[in-house]
A = this chain, B = another copy of it.
């Protein structure tokens, strides 16, 4: 499945190009990518997650990329890799090259006369590009995107479609932004006075480093005073919310539906699992892992795993736990009382 239209590489070519050890014929060609369970003889498959190791024995894949330790259990050809999943990614990119849209500005785009757009950039249909903005070489601005005045899109960066980039925001090189992303909307800045809210102007920017990828419908607010910053190689999944003045360290990955409140700083090489929330004005150090659906309310200064997610149970059992939670205060008293009575009894006996 997922046949590429390109003639596939031979296993020998893949082994040489990626420095893999081939167990199988040099001239065997693979043209598609598939899972172990669904692969046919023309497909390449991979084994990286031990949960799927049981599928190795029965796979019909033409070849499998795997770690040295799994080679003996593979019935057919294989390519032994130090990092099977990363090498799979490299081969997949080779079999499914991204086809860039043609350079130039679509007739329907509204590009301000003062915007600087590289000749090699591609501006799609129904795009708006504001005054004084800059689109660098080979950048792709897909259909329906809005680039506000003064924004800067770096070289080889792709905005897939319907992306919003606010005024004066800056995207680095090789950034990928998926549809519906809003970068540089005003942060939630409000001052309460005389019985009503007053908007606090949000005059900072958003700065996105090189090689970041940002998932669909994610929102990153502009800074209130200083800037909201993603360092290089930060990876955000879909529907993530990053509030004003947050700073996220390089190589940190954040899964879907996570929210990070204002002015919090996240370190480098962190991993934040889905639907977690991080309160504002915190500092999370490097190499912290937050497990799914957790609530971070205090700063973390030691690397490691943290969490507060509660696994679902059958509702009747969970209801009983909830009842018990309401009794804990009473239990504390009763336990203390029992201990006192015991002590009294033991003392009397002596």
- A: residues with CB less than 8 A from B are 1-2, 33-35, 38, 49, 51, 83, 85-86, 88-90, 92-93, 96, 106, 108, 110, 124-126, 128, 142-144, 146, 148, 160-162, 164, 176, 178-180, 182, 185-186, 188-193, 195-201, 203-204, 211, 213, 215-217, 219, 221, 225-226, 233, 235, 237-239, 241, 243, 251, 253, 255-257, 259, 261, 274-277, 279, 281, 289-298, 304-316, 318, 320-322, 324-329, 331-332, 334-335, 338-339, 341-342, 345-346, 348-349
Among candidates B311, B339, B341, residue contacting A298 with C-beta atoms closer than 8 Å: B311
A239 touches B237 (CB 8 A): no
A296 touches B312 (CB 8 A): yes
Set of chain B residues within 8 Å of A51, measured between Cβ atoms:
281
Listed residue (A164, A213, A296, A329) with the most chain B CB atoms within 10 angstroms of its CB: A164
In the complex with contacts A162-B164, A185-B160, A314-B318 CB distance below 8 A: no
Set of chain B residues within 8 Å of A334, measured between Cβ atoms:
335, 339
A144 touches B162 (CB 8 A): yes
B203 touches A96 (CB 8 A): yes
* Stoichiometry (number of copies): 3
Set of chain B residues within 8 Å of A162, measured between Cβ atoms:
144, 146, 162, 164, 182
Complex Cα distance, B173 from A145, in Å, reads: 27
Set of chain B residues within 8 Å of A253, measured between Cβ atoms:
190, 197
Q: How far is the CB of A218 from chain B (nearest CB, A)?
A: 8
A257 touches B241 (CB 8 A): yes
